[in-house]
Copies of this chain bind each other. A is one copy, B any other.
Amino acid sequence: MTLHHLRPELFWNTIGSHRPVLTIASGDTVVAETIDAHGFDATGRQRGMRPNPMSGPVFIAGAEPGDCLLVRIGEIRMTSTTGWTYDVLSPTVLDPQAVPRLPERRKTSWLIDAANNRARLAEPPVALAEWSVPIEAMIGCFGVAPDLGQAISTATSGRHGGNMDYRGFRAGTEAMFPVAVPGGLFFLGDVHAQQGDGEIVGTGIETAAEVNFSIEVIKGRKIGWPRGRTAEEIFTIGNARPLDQALQHATTEMLDWITTEHGLDAVAASHVMGQLVRYDVANVFNPAYSVACRMPRSALP
């Protein structure tokens, strides 16, 4: 149960079979520095390039294709006193035939008050002078090297994880990824101090951070898409366009989970899912959209 520190010199814009910067044992804990989506660190120095420069990869000894990585997300600590967002809704979430034309989007600065756990616009419009949001930090982009030698842009996502921008990947959540190459090769970055469903302005509150996590290898647990677990729920993630297909991937993966590990056949699983399932729209902005399919643990045998 060693504690490792990851302070990258080099950041990656693809998730692929790159040379590991850290090798750990299953169960070890890592404290990793992450920089923001445009490559800026906590001091405001640009150390990586867009999109979403990644810290890593971490090689997990013993991980082999067909296994699963269980990533326990611990504290996500804000290391910067500022963050940024875009300031208008994405055209992907507006009716192109109905909407009035919005202004061109700009980057807007936010002030991060870690002591009080609030963030607010640095130069708010008058109507939002008193407005602030709680900090509920999440990991926007993380995952493992895909198969076939692919190196996939951190602008997008897939079975390997990637830029899912799901606010459910926060402190206390256990994330699971399908191992496709020896060692798994885990990457992370793109922390958001806050983000609504869908990432509908194209960003959360993008900022630098320090993420504490441990990784365990679950041998022989073959999964098809990223999964997650909290105290109350299990969830699966599908990444694709349109939203319909992302939802299909997530639901198919949940059906597989419940029928494989919870002793329900397809009909029993359908009953439980049909009356109790919840969906989250994680992002509707990136090249692949992301949907989470959630089930309460209390409903499952």
Do the beta carbons of A281 and B284 come within 8 Å of each other?
no
One of B92, B97, B197, B274 near A89 (C-beta < 8 A): B274
A86-100: which have CB < 8 Å to B?
A: 86-100
Contact indicator per residue, chain A 275-301, by CB within 8 Å of chain B (1) or not (0):
111111100100001010000000101
Do the beta carbons of A251 and B93 come within 8 Å of each other?
yes
Determine the chain B residues whose CB is within 8 A of the CB of A277 once the complex forms. 196-198, 200
Q: Within the assembled complex, what's the spacing in Å between the Cα atoms of A14 and B148? A: 7
Q: How many copies does the complex hold?
A: 4
Nearest Cβ on chain B to A252's Cβ, whole angstroms: 4
Nearest Cβ on chain B to A215's Cβ, whole angstroms: 24
Determine the chain B residues whose CB is within 8 A of the CB of A149 once the complex forms. 13-14, 16, 151
Nearest Cβ on chain B to A121's Cβ, whole angstroms: 7
Ordered by A's residue number, 30 sampled pairs between the chains whose C-beta atoms are within 8 Å are: A13-B148, A14-B148, A14-B151, A88-B266, A89-B251, A89-B255, A89-B266, A89-B274, A94-B248, A94-B252, A95-B245, A98-B249, A99-B255, A102-B266, A102-B270, A121-B271, A131-B301, A133-B275, A133-B276, A150-B152, A196-B274, A196-B276, A196-B278, A198-B277, A198-B279, A199-B274, A200-B274, A201-B274, A205-B275, A244-B284
> Residues of A with Cβ closer than 8 Å to B?
13-14, 16, 85-103, 108, 121, 125, 127-128, 131, 133, 148-153, 194-201, 203-205, 224, 240-245, 247-249, 251-252, 255, 263-281, 284, 289, 291, 299, 301
